[in-house]
């Protein structure tokens, strides 16, 4: 018996995308999942996400939001799916009506507004799990611990990238995030890197992205006299970053999408939460830092 086709419309940043991973894996166990998503979903791709297909969200969303009836090609595309789920934080009645007009499709929105859910102080991934399933998952469900699919070719790519830097199984540090209010001082990360070398004899790789590019000079200055520390010379793609994580020993970072990525790769992850609620936004299996010395236990 063929599995039913399921379409998920998903929007958000890298961290948001990774928080939908448990729900996507649950849906994939029930059918063949296509995600129409924002750029992080495309950057991660079908293989890492463990779904059938990933397509861009914007063209489909623009068609759905255009006044008037659906054009025939969009209507025919939607009718290939048994179910359509909205992994969006706001319910749009216009979108709902457009999908209802396609007929024969079961449409699922989140059961409550996202701001209302946030008041409960629960893990954000639960919001999407409750959209994907009417029945609560048991606390020991393997879907709650879903990880990205890291194949051997990706792991080999990680070894090659690290080898080009002269590194083997480093501690990875990401000192930034998408919001300055989330960031711990660079001195904190320098101390962590210094102790990793002195106390654990570990090499350290400092990674950065677009959000840190303007502060790259300060980042380099913070670590420049630590001989066991390497700083990336260029931004890595999400797949290459996942490849590096697959060959690393641990990760330290702020509340960020990169921290979510490290945890989703199965890397031992230490997350520092300064201005956000770790119960809601933290990777489920990350260690929320209370003491720096726990890094070396």
Q: Where are the domains of the chain?
A: 5-145, 152-296
SS3 for 102-124 is: CCCCEEECCCCCHHHHHCCCCCC
Distance CA 30, CA 230 (A): 44
Q: How do residues 286-296 score in pLDDT, each as one tens digit?
A: 666 543 434 43
Range of weakest confidence among 23-27, 57-61, 132-136: 132-136
- Asked if pLDDT for residue 206 goes beyond 90, the answer is yes
| Three-state DSSP state, 251 | strand
Q: How confident is the model at residue 148 (pLDDT cuts 50, 70, 90)?
A: very high
pTM of the model: 0.93
The DSSP letter of residue 204 is E
Is 152-296 assigned to CATH 3.40.50.10740?
A: no
d(CA 52, CA 23): 14
What pLDDT does 267 receive? 95
Give the model's pLDDT for residue 190. 97
Closest among 173, 230, 241, 228 to 198, alpha carbons compared: 228
Q: Which two tokens stand for residue 194?
A: 């210094």
Say how far apart CA 146 and CA 25 lie, in whole Å: 7
Enter the DSSP assignment of 182.
Answer: G
Per residue in 92-118, pLDDT (tens digit) is 777 777 777 776 788 888 989 999 999
Q: What distance in Å separates the CA atoms of residue 164 and residue 47, rounded to the nearest whole number?
A: 25
* C-beta of residue 107 within 8 angstroms of C-beta of residue 84: yes
pLDDT at 203 over 80: yes
Whether 121 shows a pLDDT value over 80: the answer reads yes
Is-same-fold flag (5-145; 152-296)?
Answer: yes
Overall average pLDDT of the 233-253 stretch: 97
Read off the pLDDT of each residue in 48-77 and give the average, rounded to a whole number. 91
pLDDT at residue 292, as a whole number = 40
Average pLDDT over residues 149-172: 97
* Residue 119, pLDDT above cutoff 70: yes
Q: What is the pLDDT of residue 296?
A: 39
Please tell me the class of the 5-145 domain: alpha beta
């Amino acid at each position: 018996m063929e599995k039913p086709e399921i379409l998920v419309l998903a929007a958000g940043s890298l961290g948001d995308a990774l928080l939908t991973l448990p729900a996507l894996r649950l849906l994939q166990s029930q059918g063949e999942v296509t995600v129409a998503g924002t750029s992080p979903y495309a950057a991660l791709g079908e293989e890492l996400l463990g779904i059938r297909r990933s397509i861009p969200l914007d063209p489909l969303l623009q068609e759905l939001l255009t006044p008037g009836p659906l054009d025939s090609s969009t209507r025919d595309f939607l009718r290939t799916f048994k179910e359509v789920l909205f992994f969006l934080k706001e319910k749009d009645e216009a979108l709902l009506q457009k999908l209802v007009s396609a007929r024969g499709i079961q449409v699922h929105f989140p059961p409550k507004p996202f701001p209302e859910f946030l008041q409960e102080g629960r893990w954000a991934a639960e919001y999407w799990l409750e959209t994907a399933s009417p029945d609560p998952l048991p606390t020991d469900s393997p879907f709650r611990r879903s990880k990205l699919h890291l194949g051997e070719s990706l792991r080999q790519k990680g070894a090659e990238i690290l080898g080009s830097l002269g590194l083997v199984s480093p501690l990875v540090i990401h000192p930034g995030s998408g919001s300055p209010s989330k960031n711990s001082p660079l001195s904190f990360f320098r101390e962590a890197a210094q102790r990793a070398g002195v106390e654990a004899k570990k090499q350290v790789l400092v990674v950065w992205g677009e959000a840190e590019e303007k502060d790259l000079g300060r980042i380099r200055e913070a670590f420049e006299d630590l001989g066991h520390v390497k700083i990336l010379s260029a931004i890595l793609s999400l797949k290459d970053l996942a490849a590096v994580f697959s060959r690393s020993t641990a990760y330290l970072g702020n509340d960020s999408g990169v921290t979510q990525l490290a945890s989703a790769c199965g890397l031992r992850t230490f997350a520092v939460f300064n201005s956000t609620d770790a119960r809601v936004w933290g990777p489920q299996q990350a260690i929320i830092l209370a003491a720096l010395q726990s890094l070396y236990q």
